Amino acid sequence: MRKQILIFLFVVSVLAFLILGWYSFRHQPPREGWSTHYDDLLFDVNGHGIMTAVRAFTDKENPNDNRNHRIFLPSYANLNETRISFKNAFYFECKDETGHAIRFSDNDVVTGIEIGRMYEGSFLNKRGEVMESGGFQVLQSGDLSSAFITTKTGGMDFIHEDKNYREKGQMILLKPDGSQEYFQSIDCLKGHGNTTWEQDKKSYEVILKRKSDLFGLGSAKKWLLMANCMDPSQIRNSIVYGMAEAVGLRGSARMRYLDLYLNGEYKGLYQLSEKVEIADNRLEISNLQYRNESENFILPYRAERISENGAGDSLRVGYDLENLPADITGGYLIEHDYGEKFEAEPSKFRTESGDKYVIRSPNFADIREVRYIADLFQDLENRSGDGSPMDDLIDLESFADKYILEEFVKNDGAGTTSSFFYKDSDSVDPLIYAGPAWDYDRALGQGGTVTQVSTTLNFCTNHIQNTEVFYNLYTRHPEFQSQVRKDFRDKFLPYIERLLNEGMIDGYFAEVQKDRDMDSVRWRKSPQDLVDQAEAIKVFIKERTAFLKRLWVDGETLRYVQMPDDNLNRHPTVGVLDGEPLVRLPGSKSRKGQENWHWEDSETGQIIEDHTPITKDMTLIAVDD
């Protein structure tokens, strides 16, 4: 009997310990940067009969700030038609700075809360005791469309593990007034980007089940959600794509701003964008990839992969398809790329000088197709370098326009990455074209040291592992330089003047401002930075235009400064008007981390500094002090 009593007392004590421990856990203050109840707080928003759930956001990256719980509402939300839901509490109470409190039960209509006002938000138990509290605020976007994407798992961990991981789901697109633009299951959501994928605010690709015309951008299956995470202004891509479309660069992307919600969590201001691809309503040329797939029972990516080394540094990588289309002359979509990105691609080639090109379409190209297009680009490299005629190989106007665009905006990755070319079937057009335009979040005064300068040329040679094709075209082909001058004067200048004088930049900025700084709050940025960036872009464009008019309209003399020591055995070149300084000299790759060195004129030994007037063509070498 005594033994049974002891066992009973032991069991009771264990249960009491567990109950007290549970009670203590439920009622202890939340740990810094960690929340329980706010994770389950939802606002159910009604948009023309379509209910969308918006989760509360807790800034767990800023754990010392307890006033960091927010609901980011889409533009169409009406609080009088919005219901609140939460778990593991009887009430949610909002108390303003005057002490006035509004108490909600689960599934109550949200009334009495003011947009933008800061409250003390508390979760209460049945007796009205505070279980958890913290700063709470409701913010709302204005006159912007919204995208709500729900993944099959209900989370983003799988997709964020690897940008190539895919997950099915559902997407709802709603117009600013809440009316439906699109509501369907999607084939997949996946990551997008390279350097940008490493950022907290990530870009994504959405593949629909069937082609759809979203917001009048043209019917297609593949769409991008661009984060613009490396552009504080969020308008650089809009400005440059608008310019590319205005001057006739084929396949230029169109975009639309919207608020993005993933599994109910507000992710910020994004741009729904067309994808650079060969397709209807995109780059409309012959589709060689479709012919490869339709003429082979075994899908191309399952075929044997072949790698061939050739003269110099050349390389061709492709696949051994069982059946080859009768016409392999096009269409091709080619991207100049570099580094690990190039190494990871399935079909590609490298020229004798080391220029690296990825075949985006057909992305699993037959090795004979790779040889064909690689031979053309080797011919482009050879002829651009030796001054041979180009009119039977490239479309001179598209190359000039692409060069002007890259040069005018001083794109940091110009010529190296996101630099596209395309070729149609010979039966349609035998020439190689430059374009479409893509990826300008590090342009217009933002980027590396040299690309921030508005009064020099870069010839698309600034970035690591650059190409010298455009520099060679500019310096060794008078017809190309003449085309550049003509197109800048006749096509670019009129558009730039409209950009500056008709409030177009302010118009782009006004679109961004429609989110009412929600993106800035979500990603811990200063709203003033957006204003400052918009003004800085205007200044850069004005200065850039004045410089290029002196060069390409007035015909002032240009001096060429080469710095082979700067860029891993390539030869970046800067062009500067006669008698003007370089303003900012780049660092030397060979002396990275060293302080005591300087640039010298290789012929005279003269020390060249940022402010030194340049009066002749020269090569600079890095010399230890």
Question: Chain-wide mean pLDDT for the chain?
Answer: 91
Which of helix, strand or coil describes residue 557? coil
Q: What is the pLDDT of residue 47?
A: 82
Q: What is the pLDDT of residue 568?
A: 54
> Is the domain of 430 the same as that of 316?
yes
> Is the domain of 270 the same as that of 302?
no
Q: Are 136 and 112 in contact (CB under 8 A)?
A: no
pTM for this prediction: 0.90
**Domain contains 296:** yes
> Is the domain of 301 the same as that of 438?
yes
Q: What is the pLDDT of residue 17?
A: 36
Report the share of the chain in percent with pLDDT over 90: 81
Report the share of the chain in percent with pLDDT over 70: 93
Q: Are 124 and 89 in contact (CB under 8 A)?
A: yes
**Domain contains 16:** no
> Is the domain of 329 the same as that of 462?
yes
Phi, psi of 471 (to 5 degrees): -65, -45
Dihedral of the alpha carbons of 368, 370, 373, 379, in degrees to the nearest 10: -100
Band of pLDDT at residue 67, cut at 50, 70 and 90: low
> Is the domain of 125 the same as that of 169?
no
Query: Domain boundary at 435, 459, 492, which?
Result: 492
Query: Tokens for 494?
Result: 């009129």
Encoded amino acid at 50, one letter: I
Q: What is the pLDDT of residue 66?
A: 60
Q: What is the pLDDT of residue 4?
A: 57
Band of pLDDT at residue 310, cut at 50, 70 and 90: very high
Band of pLDDT at residue 168, cut at 50, 70 and 90: very high
> Is the domain of 115 the same as that of 156?
no
Q: What is the pLDDT of residue 569?
A: 54
**Domain contains 426:** yes
CA distance 308 to 205: 32
**Domain contains 341:** yes
Which domain does 601 fall in, by range?
A: 517-624
Q: What is the pLDDT of residue 143?
A: 94
Among 348, 340, 562, 312, residue whose Cα is nearest residue 465: 340
For residues 303 and 359, the model is more confident at 359
Q: What is the pLDDT of residue 21?
A: 33
**Domain contains 564:** yes
For residues 288 and 585, the model is more confident at 288
> Is the domain of 332 the same as that of 306?
yes
**Domain contains 302:** yes
Query: Domain boundary at 105, 140, 175, which?
Result: 140
> Is the domain of 86 the same as that of 151?
no
Question: How is 330-377 classified by DSSP, letter by letter?
Answer: --EEEEE--HHHHHT-SSEEE-TT--EEEEEESTT-BHHHHHHHHHHH
What is the average per-residue pLDDT within 96-118?
A: 95
> Is the domain of 456 the same as that of 542?
no
Query: Tokens for 445?
Result: 């005064």
Per-residue model confidence as pLDDT tens digits over 188-220: 999 998 888 889 999 999 999 999 999 999 999
pLDDT at 455 > cutoff 90: yes
Of 111-115, 175-179, 523-527, 559-563, least confident by mean pLDDT is 523-527
**Domain contains 15:** no
> Is the domain of 299 the same as that of 270?
no
| Cα torsion angle, 284, 286, 289, 294, sign | positive
What is the average per-residue pLDDT within 98-116?
A: 95
Strand-pairing partners, residue 204, are: 191, 225
Q: What is the pLDDT of residue 111?
A: 92
pLDDT at 261 > cutoff 80: yes
Among 288, 279, 321, residue whose Cα is nearest residue 425: 288
Q: How many domains does the chain have?
A: 4
Band of pLDDT at residue 25, cut at 50, 70 and 90: very low
DSSP letter (8 states) at residue 31: P
> Is the domain of 469 the same as that of 392?
yes
Encoded amino acid at 213, one letter: D
Q: Are 225 and 194 in contact (CB under 8 A)?
A: no
DSSP letter (8 states) at residue 292: H
> Is the domain of 532 the same as that of 617?
yes
CA distance 465 to 428: 33
**Domain contains 552:** yes
What is the average per-residue pLDDT within 493-500?
A: 95
Query: Domain boundary at 245, 274, 303, which?
Result: 274
| Report for 380-394, 451-465, 592-606: range of highest mean pLDDT | 380-394
CA distance 355 to 610: 30
pLDDT at 13 > cutoff 90: no
pLDDT at 167 > cutoff 90: yes
Which of helix, strand or coil describes residue 577? strand
Band of pLDDT at residue 292, cut at 50, 70 and 90: very high
Cα angle for residues 472, 315, 563 (degrees, 5° grid): 35
Per-residue model confidence as pLDDT tens digits over 417-450: 999 999 999 999 999 999 999 999 999 999 888 8
Among 334, 84, 233, residue whose Cα is nearest residue 537: 233
CA distance 408 to 500: 14
